[in-house]
């Protein structure tokens, strides 16, 4: 993996331009431009807060802020999976004609997602401010939590994107999986609302720990649970290692398969 | 120093008959994909030294591009090893990764990054690239507004400015107008003199001869020959001529096959069939009269074929080649001194030349009943211009009674290296005569 990372580093310029192209094509030629990327989570927030606040009537203080923290962290993951699934196939022209470490393609998706995430923080802080939520030292933990989140998401994206070359319907299957996964993660509800009977299912979900950590930092102004975060970190590291291996093995046949 | 070392590399592709690439199909129907293997490279070994410029030639589908892709690292070999030393850059396709909405300048950055350059390197080369592409005025326009020539020029300029240790080029030299091509050639020469190892695939044999130190000829997944450019190219061209000739013969055989079926005439397709038809003919004693063949068949011309001096069947000739027309005949009844004749016509039925054994006072050997024989008409230098020619073959008695007359039923083709016109190539030369002074 170290050798691969070195090679990816050598191609960092390509990675950068892929990420920038992705971001720029999104706003080039559209009237609202870059604000679309900010508008998207806001609209989602609007819909979810109407449904869960006024229809489902979740009784919770500052529910909108809570929802937003979960939503932006979640969309980093879900968008990486949905647009990452087809990234190899979409870039067939490059894969078939040019040599480069193919890991760059899924990686560019993740980095694009992280940049979007950072931009949505620009909206998050005013929202937190309006709700008069206190922020403090736990904010220092953001880079670590974000790193773990990225590692897990990258591992998933590497797996899905490489498998999707061979099973093209994986992209669509993932749509359903992502939807189910959304409700297995405390985003629209809190962990304490999960009935104990089925809690074990939720506890298998590494994203639960990650998103809970974000909630703790931004919402409760508490330090995340280092213990469970550590476990998720180790798990993600192992998972990432495996994903790199699988990707490497499958990538040998990319040029022939697409 | 060997910078490229290919050892016993084999690569095959799966050609799928029916393809299901969905998880659903695999799981629900447990469908196995049927495929045939296509061997693209068969146990190929090749070493290239630092600074060498090597050209790969061969027909389409012979495996040249596959080899380049293996060298680049886009494909991986099924068996064998590939060792590359140094920074490799490949131009398999120009403009891969261009984004139509971005300006020329932005695309230069992106494309150069894809080819593995760092930002600093790109910045230092930016002006050279723009200058080389001759697109100064358009460089801030989006690439989608470029003409295809401009697009290619930009792409090529980026690619050629990436100064790698090993450069792999696939059939992309034919870019832009003649002047730009000349410039590309010069740039390649420059890279070459700097010690870059270059491997390229091209069908432009002229360029190849100019640029290469060595040419490798690949045919049907294997390296056939490897050596000095001029020699290899000549070998290859001869091979191509042969192939073309074979193709014509095959085509002809297919069409004569149809003729045989249609009018049941005796043509050679295979000897078995020939004998079949023959015996049938004798037993039934049918008079064959068709639009283009007549005569009483006391002597029968069973086949006419064109060959070179060594009796190898040939249909495509070069102007000036040795041509032999062989008439195979069969004597059904004993006759006195038959005369064999031959006529050559252009495709629009202009008679170019005709003669017979009587005119030429050639006397045949003894002729016996139920014998078979061959007589050949030899042209030491086929002085015809490039065209398709029809041939009439006949055998008749001294009074002109036809035994067997084949009216323009055979054809051959002549190609020429020069573009002279008319029918016959008259032997000639040019000479400067003294100008007469005064009027």
Task: Say how far residue A39 (Cα) sits from the centre of its chain.
Answer: 17
Tell which of B75, B98, B123, B162 to mutate to test the A interface (max A CBs under 10 Å): B75
Nearest-5° Cα angle at A146, A109 to A89: 15
- DSSP track, B373-409: EEEEEEESS--B-SEEEEEEEEEE-TT--EEEEEEEE
Query: A97 in contact with B at a CB cutoff of 8 Å?
Result: yes
Q: How confident is the model at residue A242 (pLDDT cuts 50, 70, 90)?
A: very high
CA distance B14 to A258: 12
Q: How confident is the model at residue A171 (pLDDT cuts 50, 70, 90)?
A: confident
Q: Which chain A positions have a beta carbon within 8 Å of B91's beta carbon?
A: none
Task: Give me the interface pTM, i.e. the ipTM.
Answer: 0.77
In this prediction, what percent of chain A has a pLDDT beyond 70? Answer: 95
The token pair that represents B27 in the structure block: 């799981």
Residue A234 placed within a domain: yes
The token pair that represents B288 in the structure block: 């064959």
**Torsion region of B37: left, alpha or beta (phi above 0 gives left; psi -120 to 50 gives alpha):** beta
Query: A99 in contact with B at a CB cutoff of 8 Å?
Result: yes
Running DSSP on this structure, what letter comes out for residue B25?
I
Residue A13 placed within a domain: no
Query: A177 in contact with B at a CB cutoff of 8 Å?
Result: no
CA distance B162 to B168: 12
Task: Say how far residue B143 (Cα) sits from the centre of its chain.
Answer: 36
Query: A8 in contact with B at a CB cutoff of 8 Å?
Result: no
Of A95, A167, A257, the CB nearest to B23: A167
Look at residue B242 in the predicted model and tell me its pLDDT: 75
Q: Which chain B positions have a beta carbon within 8 Å of A168's beta carbon?
A: 21-22
Smallest Cα distance from A96 to chain B, Å: 7
Residues 116-155 of A with CB under 8 A from B: none
Residue A56 placed within a domain: yes
Q: Give the helix/strand (H/E) hosting B275.
A: helix B271-284
Query: A9 in contact with B at a CB cutoff of 8 Å?
Result: no
CA distance B312 to B322: 11
Running DSSP on this structure, what letter comes out for residue A212?
H
Contacts of B323 (CB under 8 A, 6+ apart): B306, B307, B308, B314, B317, B378, B379, B382, B412
Smallest Cα distance from A181 to chain B, Å: 20
Q: Give the Å distances, CA to CA, from A232 to A110, A218, A225, A246, B86.
A: 19, 20, 11, 20, 41
The residue of chain A with its CA nearest to that of B77 is A252
Q: Inspect the interface and report whether the beta carbons of B96 and A17 lie closer than 8 Å.
A: no
Q: How confident is the model at residue A107 (pLDDT cuts 50, 70, 90)?
A: very high
pLDDT tens, position by position, A19-32: 887 777 766 656 66
CA distance A68 to A49: 9
Smallest Cα distance from A159 to chain B, Å: 15
Q: Inspect the interface and report whether the beta carbons of B113 and A94 lie closer than 8 Å.
A: no
Which residues of B have a CB under 8 Å from any CB of A?
A: 13-14, 21-24, 26, 69, 72-76, 88, 90, 92-93, 96-97, 99, 101-102, 109-110, 112-119, 122
Q: Which chain B positions have a beta carbon within 8 Å of A96's beta carbon?
A: 74
pLDDT means per 10 residues in chain B (439 residues)?
Answer: 88 76 70 75 90 89 88 89 85 77 85 81 88 88 86 83 83 72 84 88 82 89 87 81 78 67 46 46 51 85 90 85 91 85 89 90 80 90 88 88 88 79 87 74
Question: Whole domain around residue A174: which residue ranges?
Answer: 2-8+33-257
| Interface A-B: count of C-beta contacts within 8 A | 76
pLDDT tens, position by position, A209-226: 999 999 999 999 999 999
Counts of helices then strands in chain B (DSSP H, E): 9, 18
Query: A234 in contact with B at a CB cutoff of 8 Å?
Result: no
Query: A256 in contact with B at a CB cutoff of 8 Å?
Result: yes
CA distance A48 to B50: 64
Look at residue B112 in the predicted model and tell me its pLDDT: 84
Q: Inspect the interface and report whether the beta carbons of A166 and B21 lie closer than 8 Å.
A: yes
Q: Which chain B positions have a beta carbon within 8 Å of A11's beta carbon?
A: 116
Phi, psi of A18 (to 5 degrees): -65, -45
Residue A152 placed within a domain: yes
- Are A257 and A102 spatial neighbours (Cβ–Cβ below 8 Å)? no
Running DSSP on this structure, what letter comes out for residue B371?
-
Query: A21 in contact with B at a CB cutoff of 8 Å?
Result: yes
The token pair that represents B350 in the structure block: 């202009």
Burial class (CB in 10 A: 0-12, 13-18, 19+), B355: middle
Residue A241 placed within a domain: yes
Contacts of B52 (CB under 8 A, 6+ apart): B197, B198, B213, B214
SS3 B363: coil
Contacts of A248 (CB under 8 A, 6+ apart): A4
Q: Inspect the interface and report whether the beta carbons of A10 and B114 lie closer than 8 Å.
A: no
Q: Inspect the interface and report whether the beta carbons of B101 and A167 lie closer than 8 Å.
A: no
Using a cut of 0.90, tell me whether the model's pTM lies above it: no
Residue A112 placed within a domain: yes
Task: Say how far residue B158 (Cα) sits from the centre of its chain.
Answer: 32
Residue A35: pLDDT over 80: no
Tell which of A8, A14, A171, A254 to mutate to test the B interface (max B CBs under 10 Å): A14
CA distance B367 to B416: 40
- Are B318 and B414 spatial neighbours (Cβ–Cβ below 8 Å)? yes
* Alpha helix positions (H), chain A: 2-10, 12-27, 35-49, 63-85, 87-90, 92-97, 104-130, 142-166, 170-183, 199-203, 206-215, 226-251, 254-257
CA distance A18 to A155: 19
Q: Please, what are the domains in chain B?
A: 2-237 (3.40.50.300), 239-415 (2.70.50.60)
Q: Inspect the interface and report whether the beta carbons of B110 and A29 lie closer than 8 Å.
A: no
Count of domains in chain A? 1
Q: Inspect the interface and report whether the beta carbons of B74 and A25 lie closer than 8 Å.
A: no
Look at residue B31 in the predicted model and tell me its pLDDT: 60
């Amino acid at each position: 993996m170290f050798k691969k990372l070195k090679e990816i580093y050598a191609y960092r310029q390509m990675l950068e331009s892929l990420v920038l192209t992705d971001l720029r094509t999104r706003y080039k030629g559209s009237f609202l431009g870059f604000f679309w990327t900010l508008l998207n989570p806001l609209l989602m927030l609007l819909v979810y807060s109407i449904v869960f606040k006024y229809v489902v009537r979740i009784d919770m203080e500052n529910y909108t802020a809570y929802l937003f923290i979960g939503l932006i962290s979640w969309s980093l993951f879900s968008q990486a999976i949905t647009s990452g699934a087809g990234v190899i196939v979409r870039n067939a022209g490059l894969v078939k004609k040019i040599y480069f470490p193919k890991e760059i393609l899924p990686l560019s998706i993740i980095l694009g997602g992280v940049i979007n995430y950072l931009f949505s923080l620009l909206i998050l802080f005013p929202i937190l401010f309006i709700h008069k939520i206190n922020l403090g030292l736990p904010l220092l933990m953001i880079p670590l939590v974000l790193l773990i989140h990225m590692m897990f998401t990258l591992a998933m994206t590497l797996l899905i994107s490489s498998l999707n070359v061979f099973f093209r319907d994986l992209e669509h299957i993932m749509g359903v999986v992502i939807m189910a996964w959304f409700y297995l993660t405390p985003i629209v509800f809190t962990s304490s609302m999960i009935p104990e009977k089925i809690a074990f299912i939720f506890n298998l979900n590494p994203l639960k720990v990650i998103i809970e950590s974000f909630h703790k930092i931004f919402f409760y102004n508490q330090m995340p649970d280092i213990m469970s975060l550590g476990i998720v970190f180790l798990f993600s590291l192992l998972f990432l290692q495996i994903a790199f291996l699988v990707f490497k093995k499958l990538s040998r046949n990319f040029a022939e398969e697409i | 120093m060997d910078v490229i070392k290919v050892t016993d590399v084999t690569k095959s592709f799966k050609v799928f008959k029916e393809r299901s690439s969905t998880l659903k199909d695999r799981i629900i129907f447990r469908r196995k994909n049927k495929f045939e293997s296509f061997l693209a490279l068969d146990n190929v070994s090749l070493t290239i030294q630092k600074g060498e410029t090597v050209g790969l030639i061969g027909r389409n589908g012979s495996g040249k591009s596959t080899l380049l892709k293996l060298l680049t690292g886009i494909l991986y070999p099924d068996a064998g090893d590939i060792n590359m030393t140094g920074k490799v850059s490949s131009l398999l396709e120009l403009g891969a990764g261009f984004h139509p909405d971005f300006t020329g300048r932005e695309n230069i950055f992106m494309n150069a990054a894809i080819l593995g350059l760092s930002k600093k390197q790109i910045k230092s080369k930016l002006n050279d690239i723009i200058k080389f592409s001759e697109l100064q005025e358009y460089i801030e326009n989006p690439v989608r507004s470029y003409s295809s020539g401009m697009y290619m020029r930009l792409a090529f300029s980026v690619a050629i400015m990436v100064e790698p240790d090993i450069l792999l080029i696939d059939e992309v030299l034919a870019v832009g107008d003649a002047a730009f091509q000349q410039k590309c050639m010069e740039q390649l020469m420059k890279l070459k003199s700097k010690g870059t190892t270059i491997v390229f695939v091209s069908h432009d044999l002229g360029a190849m001869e100019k640029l290469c130190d060595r040419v490798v000829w690949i045919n049907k997944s294997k390296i056939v020959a490897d050596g000095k450019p001029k020699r290899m190219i000549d070998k290859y061209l001869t091979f191509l001529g042969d192939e073309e000739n074979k193709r014509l013969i095959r085509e002809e055989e297919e069409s004569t096959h149809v003729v045989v079926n249609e009018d049941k005439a005796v043509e050679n397709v295979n000897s078995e069939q020939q004998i079949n038809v023959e015996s049938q003919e004798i037993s039934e004693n049918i008079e064959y009269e068709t639009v283009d063949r007549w005569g009483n068949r006391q002597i029968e011309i069973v086949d006419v074929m064109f060959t070179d001096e060594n009796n190898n069947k040939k249909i495509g000739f070069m102007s000036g080649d040795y041509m032999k027309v062989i008439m195979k005949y069969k004597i059904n009844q004993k006759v006195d001194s038959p005369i064999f004749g031959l006529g050559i016509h252009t495709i629009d039925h202009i008679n170019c030349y005709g003669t017979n054994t009587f005119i030429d006072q050639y006397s045949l050997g003894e002729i016996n009943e139920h014998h078979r024989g061959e007589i050949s008409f030899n042209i030491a230098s086929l002085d015809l211009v490039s065209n398709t020619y029809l041939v009439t073959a006949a055998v008749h008695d001294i009074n002109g009674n036809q035994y067997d007359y084949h009216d323009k039923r055979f054809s051959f083709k002549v190609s020429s290296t020069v573009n002279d016109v008319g029918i016959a190539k008259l032997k000639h030369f040019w000479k400067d005569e003294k100008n007469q002074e005064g009027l």
